[in-house]
Amino acid sequence: MFGEKGSKVLVTTRNEKVSLVMGTLPVHRLQVLENEYCWSIFKQRAFVDDTVVLGTYPHLEEIGRKIVEKCKGVPLAVKSLGGLLHSKVEKGYWEFVLTSEIWELENDENGIMPALRLSYHHLPAHLKKCFSYCSIFPKDYFFEKEELILLWIGEGFIPPRGNRQMDISRDYFDELYLRSFFQKSERLNRSGEPMFVMHDLIHDLAQSILKDVYLRMEQHDNDKLWNNIGTKARYLSLFLNRDHNTAERLDALYQVRAPRTFLLRGPSFYRVEIPCLVTNLDRLFDAWRCLRVLCLRNLYFGNNDLSDMIGNLKLLRYLDLSYTGIRKLPISISSLYQLEILLLEGLELELPVNIGSSLVNIRLVKILSYKCRIPQENRRRYGVGDLKLWGCIMGCNSITISGLDNVVVSNADVSQYINNFKNNQQLETLTLEWETTRDRDVAKAIMECLQPAPTNLRILKIKGYYGERLPRWMAEMSNLEKLELDHCRSKVLPPLGKLPSLKHLIISSLDNWEGEWSLEEDMDNGEVSSTSEQLFLKLVNLQISNCPKLKGLPPCDFPDLRTLRISDCEELRTSINPERISTLETNDIFRCPNLR
């Protein structure tokens, strides 16, 4: 469409019939690679250092060259078998691959499928499941590493070994990538990381393994295919385009009796509103109660919300509602007790208040912005299960949690959940709010549970905290740029001057903050010690108000301070000498009657 006059179209294909239909010029047949080139590719994949390995095990070269000859000059087959034999030096294993009966089985015109099937045949059982599951994607589908491993977890392919499930999943993925079952593409995801794709022939292999178990349909498939859908499929996918005949297509899919996975996805760059979507989903939630994985990503719900009937899916482990436009989750979500993964990207919504304590198996929640209000209902006190949900939120750049005085947690719970919250590497803004004063030890334990990752947090707001001391981890936030403390009951502050990125410090209504504000304070015993190192190196804005017991500010230079505002500090006697701060632009001090 956009070609200039004289432009040419180059068509590449493995099927010569295509070239006969498309071609206006004679076909140019690419020749297979010479064996020496294939051997070079094979060595790259099979050996970390071929000089050392072949020098130690010279018999491997003779066997390896014979394996390469059987690949008949097809580089994909060579790469695949090189990955299969990677870092293996046992002569018997190499000879077994060379003499396998699979070479004598079905053959295509290029001789490539036996080599690929041999690579699959020698996969460990756990990797066979993970690979064959990929046939649920369309051909040429670009996928993210995390996208696939979360589906594996949802299906139960990854053993739940404590907190190592994600690490194990990544190891599985890397092993399949090393064996050339996946290829890294030039396309990047939203985070700038490379996406992956499967070669068409690898995809054909995945489809051929369990034909009746995996069912992938597309809207442009002909009616004959849609009318002959089998009933025993366990893994279904339907990837939509912009057409609007989806309701009828969904009706056809209900011939499948008890699927475990259903991916119903819209295109990434369009809002696909589907007529009668809500009605069809009600039927889905009622009919397919054995679902483990449900993906409705990129389907636009318009003004509709998710049906309350989703609570029927008691076995559901994975739910993806990203970019659907829904604004409210039904209360019945809290009855999905098996749910481990909840994806809510691209949504601005409030979660049900009891969702954290109900989803006892939740491991990961992805969301952009989360505001949670925890009321005290019928004298119910919320427990550590609510904290677990917040700790599982990943990909969220802003979290606000209010009503923390209605949460009960003991110090024994802290070690179980503290690492969960620290795992959210995307969190940049955290707001924690208490409304009434209760037990100080409980407040301290809650604060420890909510410790964020130290390298990413930029804005921290704490309101109403009634613990005797603010947490030590505040002084570890290396990228923290703004800190607000409001109506906290703490007597001393952490050594905030050591925060290397702090620009804005706003302190108000700290009634118990007393004495001189020292440069460094010992959080364990309250002793004060001085320090000669430079502090508050990047602070540009310091505001202190309504701190009636504060007597003095720290005697440091504040090398970049531009705004200083102090008010309603009745016992304040010494402030910062503005003559020592050449950068100061605004200096407002009022209602400080004892200031000298």
Question: Is residue 181 assigned to a domain?
Answer: yes
Q: Which carries the bigger pLDDT value, residue 545 or residue 110?
A: 545
Residues 6+ apart with CB under 8 A from 588: 564, 565, 566, 567
CA 592/CA 596 separation, integer angstroms: 9
Q: Are residues 40 and 116 in the same domain?
A: yes
Q: Are residues 74 and 105 in the same domain?
A: yes
Q: Are residues 130 and 183 in the same domain?
A: yes
Q: Are residues 134 and 170 in the same domain?
A: yes
Q: Are residues 105 and 44 in the same domain?
A: yes
Question: Is residue 513 assigned to a domain?
Answer: no
Neighbours of 60 (CB within 10 A): 21
Output phi, psi for 350, to 5 deg.
-110, 135
Question: Is residue 110 assigned to a domain?
Answer: yes
The answer to whether 157 touches 260, Cβ cutoff 8 Å, is: no
Residues 6+ apart with CB under 8 A from 523: 469, 472, 492, 494
Q: Are strands 541-545 and 563-567 parallel, antiparallel or unpaired?
A: parallel
CATH of the domain at 144: 1.10.10
**Of the segments 323-332, 436-445, 499-508, which one has the largest average pLDDT value?**
499-508
pLDDT at 406: 75
Q: Tell me which of 89, 121, 153 is where a domain ends.
A: 121
pLDDT at 544: 95
Report, as an integer, the average pLDDT of 513-535. 58
pLDDT-derived band at 133 (thresholds 50, 70, 90) equals very high
Closest alpha carbon to 288 in 266, 271, 309: 309
Q: Are residues 112 and 188 in the same domain?
A: no
Q: Which carries the bigger pLDDT value, residue 24 or residue 145?
A: 145
Q: Are residues 46 and 98 in the same domain?
A: yes
Question: Is residue 445 assigned to a domain?
Answer: no
Residue 347, H or E segment:
strand 341-349
Distance from first CA to last CA of the chain, Å, rounded? 79
Q: Tell me which of 121, 146, 178 is where a domain ends.
A: 121
- Give bridge partners of residue 469 from the DSSP assignment: 492
pLDDT digits (tens, 9 = 90+) for 181-237: 898 988 888 767 889 999 888 888 888 887 778 877 665 555 555 555 667 788 888
Residue for token digits 């037990």? 439
Report, as an integer, the average pLDDT of 572-589. 84
User: Residue 25 gets which letter from DSSP?
Assistant: S
pLDDT at 103: 67
pLDDT at 282: 82
pLDDT at 459: 93
Domain extent, residue 149, equals 125-204
The answer to whether 437 touches 463, Cβ cutoff 8 Å, is: no
Q: Tell me which of 121, 152, 168 is where a domain ends.
A: 121
pLDDT digits (tens, 9 = 90+) for 149-177: 999 999 999 887 766 788 889 999 998 98
Q: Are residues 139 and 117 in the same domain?
A: no
Q: Are residues 101 and 66 in the same domain?
A: yes
The answer to whether 488 touches 462, Cβ cutoff 8 Å, is: yes
CA 266/CA 272 separation, integer angstroms: 6
CA 2/CA 7 separation, integer angstroms: 9
Amino acid found at 276: C
The answer to whether 321 touches 300, Cβ cutoff 8 Å, is: no
Question: Is residue 498 assigned to a domain?
Answer: no
Q: Are residues 105 and 91 in the same domain?
A: yes
Q: What is the mean pLDDT of the chain?
A: 79
pLDDT at 173: 94
Q: CA separation (Å) from 56 to 228, 443, 516, 589?
A: 57, 63, 72, 79
Q: Which carries the bigger pLDDT value, residue 334 or residue 56?
A: 334
Q: Are residues 150 and 176 in the same domain?
A: yes
Question: Is residue 264 assigned to a domain?
Answer: no
Domains held by the chain: number: 2
Amino acid found at 3: G
Q: Which carries the bigger pLDDT value, residue 281 or residue 343?
A: 343
Question: Is residue 592 assigned to a domain?
Answer: no
Tokens standing for residue 299? 């389907």
pLDDT-derived band at 49 (thresholds 50, 70, 90) equals confident
Question: Is residue 401 assigned to a domain?
Answer: no
Q: Are strands 515-516 and 520-521 parallel, antiparallel or unpaired?
A: unpaired
The H helix count followed by the E strand count for the chain is: 18, 24
Q: Are residues 39 and 101 in the same domain?
A: yes
Query: Of 17-31, 138-152, 184-198, 269-283, which gets the smallest average pLDDT?
Result: 269-283
Neighbours of 167 (CB within 10 A): 11
pLDDT-derived band at 522 (thresholds 50, 70, 90) equals very low
